[in-house]
Chain A
Amino acid sequence: MIVFTIGFLENPSDFILFLGRLHPLVVHLPIGFIFMAVIAQFASQKPKFKPLEPFVSYIWLLGIASTFFAVLFGYFLSLSGDYDPDTLFWHKWMGVGVLLFIIGCYYSTKQGKTTFTYSKWAFTIIVAISIGITGHLGGNLTHGSTYLLEYAPNTVRNLAGLPDKVEARKKVVVLDSADVFLDIVMPMMNSTCISCHNDGKRKGGLKLNSYVNMLKGGENGAAIVPGKPLKSELLHRITLPENHEDFMPSEGKRPLTTQEVNLIEWWISNGAPDTGYFTALNPDKKTRTLAENYLGLNKKNQLYSQQVAPPKGKVIDTLAKRGFVINRLMNDNNFLDLNLSLSEQSLLPNDLILLLQLKEQLLWLNLSNSNITDTQLEKIGALNNLIRLDLSNTNITDKGLEHLTALEHLEVLNLYNTGVTDQVFPLLSKLKTLKKVYLWQTNITEATVLQFKKEHPNLVVDFRRE
């Protein structure tokens, strides 16, 4: 039988390997049959289930047939290598053992003679125990030995001789506190690589579950070569075309995003340190942004992804009566857009107090054509979530703008046809998130605005009509 010709097939054909991959599929069938046989055999002891007795041997027979294929395919799978040899040895031979024992079960139940009674029960109990052990070893081979008890209570883990659970690293909230390896590189390995490159599975002889193992590498040499991204096999594999044979991750698992790949490349070319703060390596602006996005620290995204409470109906009601056009900005959140520019009513001090009650929800505010004053802007400056603010065609001046410098999300500010002067530029510099500002028909001078544009190349400043 092929099962016993271990070591015979050194270069298995693709078809053999294909059958091997079916092992996880066929392996579960015998488990069902065998447990059914065991249960039926015990149950038939009771007079009520006595009629089951003649069928027990047939169930064992089904068990034999299915176990044979499970063992055969399992052997084929083992030919592809890549498994922890110790665990594989025990899994393989216990699988063969189970097959032999259930053959024993079959014969002892088939004869139905009293002389076989003891051996029948002995075989049955051995089968029930060994199938559990074999299955557990198989699970360890596929998922890694830490898989089963990863989330088990610490008492259970300690019983199994495992240490307490490792506390997950706290979510990074400031880029400065991010560790380059533990918070950036390792999470990518965890989410993408280690399901195949762990202590149990080690595809290609490679383990990516620790820094030391990454340096050690696998069959194709070191996975990473500090300072030499082009010589690092890991980077080579993840940057191949997705349909390339050697592309990683294989088997259609989620590839790393361009952002992640770029971060890994940056890390390797900066000497691949195993610890240390990300920002201590002086990343350039582009890399900082990559890391911010990867860690979910991007300001804008954060605001939009924050779920806010519904606004008070009464506030909305009153503001609508006061001439505000009120729109929800998206239907899965309560963010609002308020527009007073179409109203013929004038803005009252009380309206601003109502606006403050929408502090959380209010992202876009249009106060164009209104009678808002510099002092009233103090209240607007407290509307912390504002992203767009339109103050065009109003009488506000630099003095009012001073109240707005704390708006930490503001991206678009329209000051067209207002009284602002060159004094506005130092104030605009304080708005770190600002992307666009409109300044046509104001008292600014061209020389100053051009200087300001030079200092803020990423800010779009519209100040004239060409």
Chain B
Amino acid sequence: MSKYHNFMQRSLSRREMLDICKGGFGSLAFMSLFGGLPLLGCERPKNNAASNLYLGPHYLPKAKNVIFLYMDGGVSQVDSFDPKPRLAKENGEDPRKKFKVDATQFDNVGKILKSPWEFTQYGNSGIPISELFPHIATCADDLAVIRSMTSNFPEHTNANYFLHTGSGIQGRPSMGSWMTYGLGSENKNIPGYVVLDGGLVPPGGLDNFKNGFLPASYQASIFKSGPEPVANIVPKEDGANLQEQKLDFIKQMDQSLISKMGEEDAVESAISNYELAYKMQTSIPELTEFKSESEATKKLYGLDSDDPHKKGYASQCLLARRLVERGVRFVELTCPNISGFDRWDQHSNLKNGHERNAHAVDQPIAGLLKDLKSRGLLEETLVVWTGEFGRTPFAQGANGRDHNPSAFSMWMAGAGIKGGTIFGKTDEYGYRVVENPVTIHDLHATIMHLLGINHEQLTFRFGGRDMRLTDVHGHIIKDVLA
């Protein structure tokens, strides 16, 4: 069993005993002050509570919720938010004669490839956006575009882990887990960290959404698209009474186990997960029922579209709004599964692939931004749009683009964000960052900052060390903050 020692605590050691008592006095004093209420509006396992966070966020938050629009596969920056006229001028020339070309994933370096799409400046801010996103372009003045994102990994799986967990290696807690661990969720009937599965689980699998070493109740709940988003949400038992009795019995068994073993995250989380699942039987059908939404709203998101992928993503976006409306802390949307055009990962056939993907997500995202804004929800919601890396300015083969972690574009909008901003700069080809490079750690630090969390102070002791989402890195990107 020795290899599990980092995960399972058998009984209290002297150190742990002292540690718990030490924290206990502080939190006792606080609890009595506030009438015994865990002030972050969430119930958390006692043994793992970050007691300082009962005191509220570290400082005044700007955002309460996050919607993370994950552009799986890596959108091409030079075809979306970072126009490069020089590519058109030198289209078809050998990139290796122009600049140093790094090793690429598929080692199939083609010619310099100009963007097949025109860019236009939008809004009062004049942010240039390509024809791929005509709807998002109408929200230009709400966006803070970062053109100088970098990643450490040129390959999907590691880059996905890095983007989601701050580490390229599998097993760390996902950012949504960190946020809910730090702040809890305002809604006790819906999980605080929800992933809306658009049809594609990103490479790296469910480990992108796991709680890692954090208590198991902070892992993502994955909602599928379609009529039954959460598996088995309709009770299978004959009669509610039977289900209640069954759950009571399971709880009894679990609690008797705890009384013998001592506090144990796996069992405690199981108990709280059963309780939450029970409540979800009523909260989820209400949540996923769009009857109360007006036709205009559905149309705004594109729910009336003939494109089944757009329709699907539209319903995910609308669901995302309904989730943040209900106080869910962190919502991530994954990409639709468009057969033949694998996510944004166009190693060939860039034009068709990017167009199909953009068509599916563009209108729903713009609809989401506008809907959130007009209801005042964008005041407290941060929307983040990004892939795990960018694409090369030269072709892979004839008409694709390979992975490029040295530069890519992303945007944020909503609470605490200075809309109409462009931050960072790439070289004339959009291949490398030349000004204000931003790392994934910086992005995490900034998201946490907007939620009122000091990324250096939200820690969890594991393996003898106080772990952070940003590890020992991360600088807040002040230039995009309002």
Partners in one complex: yes
User: What B residues does A416 contact at CB under 8 A?
Assistant: 374-376
- The reply to whether the CB of A320 lies closer than 8 angstroms to some CB of chain B is yes
User: Which of A315, A327, A335, A462 meets B376, CB within 8 Å?
Assistant: A462
Q: Verify B376–A465 contact, CB threshold 8 A.
A: no
Supposing A310-B33, A331-B56, A436-B379 touch, asked if A326 and B39 sit within 8 A by C-beta, the answer is yes
Q: Verify B59–A466 contact, CB threshold 8 A.
A: no
- The reply to whether the CB of A330 lies closer than 8 angstroms to some CB of chain B is yes
Supposing A329-B57, A465-B300 touch, asked if A317 and B37 sit within 8 A by C-beta, the answer is yes
Bound-state CA distance A316–B35 (Å) is: 7
Q: Which residues of A from 303 to 360 have beta carbons under 8 Å from B?
A: 304, 310-317, 320, 325-332, 335, 339, 341-342
User: Which of B36, B60, B371 meets A313, CB within 8 Å?
Assistant: B36
User: What B residues does A326 contact at CB under 8 A?
Assistant: 37, 39, 41
User: What A residues does B58 contact at CB under 8 A?
Assistant: 330-331
- The reply to whether the CB of B326 lies closer than 8 angstroms to some CB of chain A is yes
In this complex, which of B52, B55, B370, B375 has the most chain A Cβ atoms within 10 angstroms of its Cβ? Answer: B375
- The reply to whether the CB of A124 lies closer than 8 angstroms to some CB of chain B is no
User: Which of A311, A329, A438 meets B34, CB within 8 Å?
Assistant: A311
Proximity string of chain B (19-49) to chain A, C-beta cutoff 8 Å, 1 when within and 0 when not: 0000000000000111111011100000000
For A390, the closest partner residue in chain B by CB is B376
- The reply to whether the CB of B186 lies closer than 8 angstroms to some CB of chain A is yes
Supposing A316-B37, A342-B326, A342-B327 touch, asked if A330 and B138 sit within 8 A by C-beta, the answer is no
Q: How far is the CB of A296 from chain B (nearest CB, A)?
A: 18
- The reply to whether the CB of B92 lies closer than 8 angstroms to some CB of chain A is no
Supposing A310-B33, A440-B374 touch, asked if A329 and B56 sit within 8 A by C-beta, the answer is yes
For A437, the closest partner residue in chain B by CB is B376
- The reply to whether the CB of A464 lies closer than 8 angstroms to some CB of chain B is yes
Proximity string of chain A (43-68) to chain B, C-beta cutoff 8 Å, 1 when within and 0 when not: 00000000000000000000000000
Q: How far is the CB of B87 from chain A (nearest CB, A)?
A: 32
Interchain pairs with CB closer than 8 A, number: 95
Proximity string of chain B (268-287) to chain A, C-beta cutoff 8 Å, 1 when within and 0 when not: 00000000000000000000
Q: B interface, how many residues as a size bin?
A: 20 to 34
Q: Verify A339–B186 contact, CB threshold 8 A.
A: yes
Bound-state CA distance A312–B40 (Å) is: 17
Q: Verify B370–A327 contact, CB threshold 8 A.
A: no
Bound-state CA distance A241–B371 (Å) is: 47
Bound-state CA distance A126–B36 (Å) is: 72
Proximity string of chain A (400-414) to chain B, C-beta cutoff 8 Å, 1 when within and 0 when not: 000000000000101
User: What B residues does A342 contact at CB under 8 A?
Assistant: 186-187, 326-327
For B40, the closest partner residue in chain A by CB is A327
Q: Verify A325–B327 contact, CB threshold 8 A.
A: yes
Bound-state CA distance A313–B186 (Å) is: 20
Bound-state CA distance A149–B179 (Å) is: 55
Q: How far is the CB of A274 from chain B (nearest CB, A)?
A: 39
Q: Verify B60–A316 contact, CB threshold 8 A.
A: no
Bound-state CA distance A462–B371 (Å) is: 11
Q: Verify B327–A339 contact, CB threshold 8 A.
A: yes
Bound-state CA distance A331–B39 (Å) is: 11
Q: How far is the CB of A42 from chain B (nearest CB, A)?
A: 54
- The reply to whether the CB of A392 lies closer than 8 angstroms to some CB of chain B is yes
Q: Verify B374–A330 contact, CB threshold 8 A.
A: no
User: What B residues does A329 contact at CB under 8 A?
Assistant: 56-57, 60-61, 452
User: What A residues does B298 contact at CB under 8 A?
Assistant: none
Q: Verify B41–A330 contact, CB threshold 8 A.
A: no
User: What A residues does B375 contact at CB under 8 A?
Assistant: 392, 414, 416-417, 438, 440
User: What B residues does A438 contact at CB under 8 A?
Assistant: 374-376, 379
Bound-state CA distance A438–B379 (Å) is: 10
Chain A interface residues (CB < 8 Å from chain B):
304, 310-317, 320, 325-332, 335, 339, 341-342, 388, 390, 392, 412, 414, 416-417, 436, 438, 440, 462, 464-466
- What would 22 A/B residue contacts be, using CB atoms closer than 8 Å? A311-B34, A313-B36, A320-B35, A326-B39, A327-B39, A327-B56, A328-B40, A328-B56, A328-B57, A329-B61, A330-B57, A330-B452, A342-B186, A342-B327, A390-B376, A392-B375, A414-B379, A416-B374, A436-B379, A465-B370, A465-B373, A465-B374
List 6 additional A-B contacts (Cβ < 8 Å) besides A326-B37, A331-B58, A465-B300: A329-B61, A329-B452, A330-B57, A331-B53, A414-B375, A465-B370
